[in-house]
Every structure is written in structure tokens, then in C-alpha cells.
């Protein structure tokens, strides 16, 4: 049997990024199952995979191998830097292991290409040493990619803190956004996080291509601007080729889903009656905000499914790298669970999100605006309430509300809290809006078409795969 073409991936110690990159690999194996073998190298902070993520890794095809690198100890920095910086530093400190693993793979296989998470950009230099192609995998929107490619120029033309800039900031091919809605890493120009973000953005140009989990029909103007204007904005593009291959979304095995209590609860609810609430794997709220959200859900009188509830914390990303085990339901308002017993279902554990979103009882999704969750909602045609917490989520929220107009975003009071009355207002606004629902269904059709055999993303996927296959005999 002819040896398979080998592709190596380098991910980061954040499960949502791992899922996106590995779903890309699963799609490649599904389309060309006899042609490719994929190895994913994953730096770690603690022992991996976690209990919550283990089922995902256990169900990967045999043609995909995951190698978890030894954990990196960076306790000296954990309490001093932002989440994104913690991730970046842990990846940087793993680079020697990454190279050792890649060199071993290339010695024993037809390794032709390296696909690297944008946070692991340092691994691109290894591709040159091994004489193979390297691509950046960008698991966010084309809007955020355009902003990153343009960021070196922004850094020069805007001298104040972005949150203090008096007018919305223009991003090529996209809606303008207020400075406060740029990613967290851009919010303090004197910080380590800012310098890492600027460097990471600059490194996007030093690659053979950028593979992005979005699709042309959703962000056409952004893709045009990226290809035509380049990072300088002067019409001479030095941007690598960009390959939109989305929407790539997670698929879960149905065995566990069938026994999931929340799905059984949804089976007994009327169509389009339930608002689904999830702030992802890392999102947290203050005690005050948890109280207001809970009371708002109760006052709305709408059915709700609230999953992955966490204990309160004033830092929005506090649980991302935390292993604390405390029952968060104890922090809900007194009597809330009893009063809403017939109205809602609350759980602190993981829910099968894909199965939830495709359930006909779901009418809207209150989301933290992680890109994976956004794409899953679009694929299943579920309108959203955009409640961003950290990282690039505020930029995503603006894309959903002001750009695509498939979501509503709650307003904060003077203390930075979404009060219960505002929770009621956005729930009623999204659940009852025919216009938002109509636009979402249209976008859902475009998303599904992009992934059909002759769709825009599938054509791009095939182009990449055929290019990699053609390199096999040259290695």
C-alpha cells in the first residue's frame, strides 16, 4: 500500500482551539480517508486531556494521532499576565519539544505540510528547517483576521489607548468598531499582552498561507480587503493566500447524547420556546452579575436551558485554566431553582451543544461569542444574544449585531452590569424578532451551501488537499 501523505498540526493548550483544528483534520480525513495521516502536537499546561475533553479525543479517527507534550510549569507568571499571554508563554516554552517531535515525524513519514495555530507561530521556523510548507490556522472570523493583518498600521496611526479613541476604528472590509471592542490583548499598550499580540499579528505574514474557519458568503468584503489591500492598506498585498474552509463545527458521538438529561428535558418543550445559555468553557461572572442574569431569566417567563454554570469570579476568564471543583449552583439566588423548576433547566456540567442547538425546542442562544459557538449557531439557524466576555469576543459580538444583524447585544449599566430588566429585554427582543430570525435562516443556507461538494469552502478544501498530495513524491 502506498504511504499516506502526512500533515502535522501544532495546537495550543486551549480546548476550543484544539477542537477547531482537529475538526479541520477530521474533515480532511473524511474527504480523503485513504490519502492522509495527521499528527496533532499539543503543548500542555497541566495533564491533558481533561475529563471534559477526553470523549472528544477518544472518538478521533485512527488516521489522526494526538501527541500531548510534557506540561510546562509557569506558576511564576500565572497571576501576573492575561490569559492570552499565559497561553502564548506556555506554547513558547514548549517549542523545543515541538521541534523534536516534528523532526521524528519527518524522519519516518511523508511529511509535507505543517498547520499551526496562530498562537504557536514560532513553529513556522521549523517548517523551513524541514523543507516543508507551513500554514497558519486562524480559528476566528475574517473580521478579526483583517484587524490583525492591519494591526501594525493601527499601532502607528493611533497613539492613545484604543478604548480612549474618540471615534470608531476602521478595519479594512469590515464594520468600524469602538476601541473598547478590540481584543483584550490590545487594551493596554504598555502590557506584555499587547506586545505579544502585535508580534503575533506581524507573524501572520510569514507563512505559506492562512487557513481560516469562516466562509466567503458570510464575510465577502473582509476577504476581498484582505486579498486586495494587504497589511499596509496601500494596495500592494504581502498577505499570504487566505483559505476559507468553514464553517467547520464540532460533531459529537450520539451515544452519550441520547442519555443526556438536558436533551430529554428539551424533548418535552414546545418548538422554538427555549433560550439556551452557555458562556463556554472559561467564561465567569461576578456574583452580582450571576444574580441579575438568573433573575432576568426568571422574569422573562421564557423557557431556558442554562449549562456549564460556574462559581462567581470578578475576572471574566477565571475558569479557563482553573481546576477548582466547587458546586456553582450554590451561588444562584436563593430559591431560584425551586421557583423556576417548570420554566428552566440548570446544570453545571457540559452539555452536548451541537445536539442542543439542532433541537427544535431551541429558539435562541445566549452566547459568550466564542467563534466555535457562533459557527455552530449559524449552522443550525439559531438567533443569538451576544454577551462577550474576553479575548476577541467583543469584536465577534459587533460582527453579529452591527454587521450580520443576527443577534442582539445587552447594554451595561454604569457599574458594568447587565441588570435583570435588560436581560428580559434582549430575550424578548431576540425570541420575538422575525427579522433576526429571517436573516439567520438565510445565513444558515449560505453556510450549508459552502460545505456542499461544489460549495466555496469545499472547493478551497479540495485545492489544499490536492496541493499537499502532489507534494508527497517530492519529499
Q: 30, 34, 37, 117: which one is catalytic?
A: 117
Residue the block writes with cell 452536548: 352
Cell of 188: 493596554
**Max CA separation in the chain (angstroms):** 68
The Cα 268–Cα 251 span in angstroms is 24
Q: What angle do CA 463, 465, 466 make, to 5 degrees?
A: 65
Nearest to 6 by CA among 36, 30, 31, 27: 36
How buried is residue 323: exposed, middle or buried, by Cβ count under 10 Å (0-12/13-18/19+)?
Answer: exposed
Is 17 one of the catalytic residues? yes
The Cα 276–Cα 268 span in angstroms is 15
The Cα 129–Cα 99 span in angstroms is 10
Is 117 one of the catalytic residues? yes
Nearest to 109 by CA among 475, 470, 474: 475
Q: 17, 121, 285, 368: which one is catalytic?
A: 17
The Cα 180–Cα 218 span in angstroms is 24
Residues with catalytic roles: 17, 117
Amino acid at each position: 500500500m502506498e504511504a499516506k501523505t502526512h500533515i502535522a498540526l501544532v495546537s495550543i493548550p486551549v480546548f476550543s482551539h484544539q477542537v477547531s483544528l482537529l475538526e479541520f483534520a477530521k474533515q480532511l480525513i473524511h474527504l480523503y480517508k485513504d490519502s492522509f495521516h495527521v499528527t496533532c502536537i499539543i503543548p500542555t499546561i497541566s495533564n491533558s486531556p481533561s475529563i471534559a475533553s477526553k470523549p472528544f479525543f477518544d472518538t478521533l479517527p485512527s488516521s489522526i494521532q494526538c501527541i500531548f507534550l510534557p506540561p510546562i510549569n509557569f506558576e511564576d507568571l500565572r497571576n501576573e499576565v492575561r490569559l492570552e499571554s499565559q497561553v502564548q508563554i506556555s506554547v513558547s516554552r514548549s517549542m523545543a519539544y515541538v521541534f523534536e517531535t516534528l523532526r521524528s515525524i519527518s524522519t519516518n513519514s511523508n511529511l509535507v505540510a505543517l498547520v499551526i495555530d496562530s498562537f504557536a507561530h514560532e513553529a513556522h521556523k521549523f517548517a523551513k528547517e524541514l523543507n516543508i510548507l507551513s500554514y497558519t490556522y486562524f480559528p476566528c472570523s475574517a473580521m478579526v483576521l483583517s484587524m490583525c493583518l492591519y494591526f501594525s498600521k493601527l499601532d502607528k496611526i493611533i497613539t492613545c489607548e484604543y478604548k480612549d479613541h474618540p471615534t470608531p476604528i476602521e478595519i479594512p472590509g469590515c464594520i468600524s468598531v469602538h476601541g473598547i471592542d478590540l481584543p483584550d490583548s490590545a487594551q493596554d499598550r504598555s502590557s506584555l499582552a499587547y506586545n505579544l499580540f502585535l508580534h503575533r499579528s506581524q507573524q501572520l505574514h510569514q507563512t505559506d498561507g492562512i487557513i481560516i474557519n469562516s466562509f466567503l458568503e458570510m464575510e465577502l468584503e473582509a476577504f476581498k480587503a484582505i486579498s486586495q489591500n494587504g497589511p499596509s492598506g496601500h494596495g500592494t498585498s504581502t498577505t499570504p493566500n487566505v483559505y476559507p474552509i468553514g464553517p467547520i463545527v464540532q460533531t459529537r458521538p450520539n451515544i452519550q447524547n441520547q442519555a443526556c438529561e438536558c436533551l430529554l428535558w428539551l424533548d418535552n418543550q414546545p418548538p422554538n420556546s427555549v433560550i439556551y445559555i452557555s458562556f463556554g468553557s472559561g467564561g465567569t461572572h461576578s456574583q452580582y452579575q450571576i444574580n441579575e442574569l438568573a433573575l432576568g431569566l426568571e422574569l422573562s417567563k421564557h423557557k431556558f436551558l442554562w449549562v456549564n454554570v460556574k462559581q462567581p469570579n470578578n475576572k471574566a476568564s477565571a475558569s479557563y485554566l482553573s481546576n477548582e471543583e466547587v458546586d456553582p449552583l450554590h451561588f444562584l439566588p436563593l430559591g431560584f431553582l425551586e421557583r423556576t423548576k417548570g420554566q428552566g433547566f440548570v446544570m453545571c456540567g457540559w452539555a452536548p451543544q451541537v445536539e442542543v442547538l439542532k433541537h427544535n425546542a431551541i429558539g435562541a442562544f445566549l452566547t459568550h461569542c466564542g467563534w466555535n459557538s457562533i459557527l455552530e449557531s449559524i449552522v443550525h439557524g439559531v438567533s443569538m444574544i451576544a454577551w462577550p466576555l474576553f479575548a476577541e469576543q467583543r469584536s465577534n459580538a459587533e460582527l453579529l449585531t452591527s454587521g450580520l444583524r443576527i443577534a442582539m447585544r445587552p447594554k451595561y449599566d454604569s457599574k458594568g452590569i447587565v441588570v435583570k430588566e435588560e436581560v428580559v429585554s434582549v430575550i424578548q427582543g431576540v425570541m420575538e424578532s422575525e427579522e433576526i430570525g429571517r436573516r439567520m435562516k438565510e445565513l444558515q443556507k449560505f453556510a450549508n451551501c459552502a460545505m456542499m461538494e461544489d460549495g466555496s469552502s469545499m472547493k478551497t478544501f479540495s485545492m489544499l488537499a490536492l496541493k499537499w498530495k502532489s507534494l508527497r513524491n517530492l519529499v
